[in-house]
Every structure is written in structure tokens, then in C-alpha cells.
Copies of this chain bind each other. A is one copy, B any other.
């Protein structure tokens, strides 16, 4: 068996590879939790809080796109993974794999973009490495992040309970549609949503909302991410299609291209599962934050298993994880 593009989709094939190779070979109590970031106890419980640690590699093509570039993306992606654990992001490492022929002026522009995004996110880049391989004139970036989880926060993919409310921070599909439009040279106003979601997580915690789980909606899309939460928590998630925000432009693009926003990758959107009693408070908190203006309560956790969606037409459809390729090199 050989690696195919589908192994990079964030969907079913990625999960299989994770299980059969990495999960099996690297199995340990921390990794087995399958969170966005690892939560570590470094000093046997003495310090006030735990460490969150995460890593992500970025292979997006093109390197620069409307609304962002691989530099901004590589900081936002890892910072968001830390935030999704309830952590305050602190430090970032970055590893560059540069291809021969890459313009140094472009590299410098991307580094400037990383520095600016890191400053905005409040993280310090503390270690780095550069290698040269390949001759395509592009680059890959890896970032790893370290954050501090304040004492008492216990956000986890496995903490959702029937009755909880499921919130989405904004419109689906923007990053995916932007990248695909750039590759196909299609003119449209769609920009990537690439962003650091700290304003959203800060807003939720500042209002003492009982946050069960958070996850950024990246590769694999909302459908895959919600299935992961439902699986980890041993509950069902029931969505209402009409509540899921999608912009007019992306909706039009999806119609033409035959794409489903439920499986499109995003880089500045998150799901928050909160105590049902806090749903309205959480929605107000998210809507007041710059990256949550289009936030919506899109469903609730229920008894049972899997993800179900009440469609606009009144039917109920099972929402599975992404199968197959997805869009290669979307992040």
C-alpha cells in the first residue's frame, strides 16, 4: 500500500493512517486522547496549570492567497490548536524546508507575516530550523506550540454531553474556496478566513461559560470534526442545516463546483460545545468578538451516536466524516 493524496485529506483515510501506523507505533496515554493539542503535567502537579503542546506542518499551495499566506497560516494553525485546549499560547518553534530556487524576497515576506501574526497572537518564536530539499522553488513550514492551560480549565473533545449546545463561529468554506479559486484562476471576491481565534476563546472564558469542547474547523471540515467530537464523547450531535452560516459567495461557488460546505476546510473557524444553559451567553460572547460576528448555534448534543442533520426540506441526513481526497495541499 502506498500513500495517496487522500491520506492528507483530514478525513477517513487520514484517520486510518493515524490508527494503523502512528497511533499503533507511538501509542501512549497523552497521544491516545486525540485532542488538538497534548495537555502535559510537567512538574507532577505543582505548578498552577498544565502545558499544552501541538504541532502542524503546512504545505499549502499557492504560498500567498487572498487573506493570508503560508506564514500567517502556520502561526494561526498551531496557535488555534493550543487555544482549542483552553490554553494561553506562549511559545512557537518553526522549521522550514526550503526548495532550491525559492526567492529570498518571498521567504522574507512570509517570515514577516509569521512575525506579525505571532505578535498579534501573543506568542514568542523561540526556536527554528532550516533545511533545503527539492528544487521546486516552494517551501514547507512546520510549527510547534507551547501554551499554558490555567488551573481548573478542562476542555476536551471527550467532554460533550447530551443537552449541550453546539456553536459555530462563522461561515464555512471560505479558505477552501479561496485556495481552489486561486489554483483554477477563477476571479471572485472570496478571501481565506485564516485567523487566530484568541478573541473568541478569550471571550468565552471571560464570561465564565461552561465550555466542554472546542475544535477549529480545518481539513476534513465541519462534518469530520463533529464526528470526532461525537465519537470521543460517546454522544450524538444533531445539526440544523438552516442554522449553518455560509456566505452568498461561497454558496454560489459550491453550487458551480459541486462542493459541500460541510467538508470544506477553514482556517479561522471554530466549534464550541457549551452547557446548553450557556448557549445564548456563549453566542453573544462570540458575536461580540471580531472573528465571531457570524457565529450561530447550529445544533445540540444528544443521546446516541454519530452526527445527524435536519435538512432545510425537513428530512434528516446522517453526516459522515470526509471520504477520499478532499482538496490536496489546502493547509
Contacts and interface: CB of A to CB of B under 8 A. Distances in A.
A101 B3 contact: yes
B108 A25 contact: yes
A104 B3 contact: yes
A98 B17 CA distance: 11
A90 interface: yes
Given A129-B55, A131-B59, A142 B108 contact: no
A249 interface: no
A22 interface: yes
Nearest to A140: B97
Contacts of A95: 55-57, 95, 142, 144
Nearest to A103: B2
A12 B31 CA distance: 39
Contact of A18 (B22, B53, B93, B130): B130
B54 A127 contact: yes
Interface residues of A, number: 77
A277 interface: no
Contact of A55 (B51, B94, B102): B94
A7 interface: yes
A329 interface: yes
A132 to B, nearest CB: 3
Interface of A: 1-5, 7-8, 14, 17-18, 20-22, 25-26, 28, 30-31, 37-38, 40, 42-43, 46-48, 51, 53-59, 61, 90-91, 93-105, 107-108, 111-112, 114-115, 118, 124-134, 137, 140, 142, 144, 146, 148, 328-329, 331
Contact of A98 (B8, B55, B115, B126): B8
Given A31-B127, A103-B1, A131-B59, A48 B43 contact: yes
B133 A22 contact: no
B25 A57 contact: no
A128 B55 contact: yes
Contacts of A94: 26, 55
Contacts of A22: 96, 111, 128, 130
Contacts of A4: 100, 132
Contacts of A331: 131
30 contacts: A2-B101, A2-B104, A2-B137, A3-B107, A8-B131, A8-B133, A14-B130, A17-B130, A18-B130, A22-B130, A25-B108, A25-B112, A25-B115, A26-B118, A28-B126, A31-B125, A38-B93, A38-B127, A42-B51, A43-B47, A55-B94, A55-B129, A55-B144, A57-B95, A57-B97, A57-B142, A59-B97, A95-B144, A97-B97, A144-B144
Contacts of A26: 94, 111, 114-115, 118, 125, 128
A21 B124 CA distance: 16
A174 to B, nearest CB: 20
A95 to B, nearest CB: 4
Contacts of A18: 130
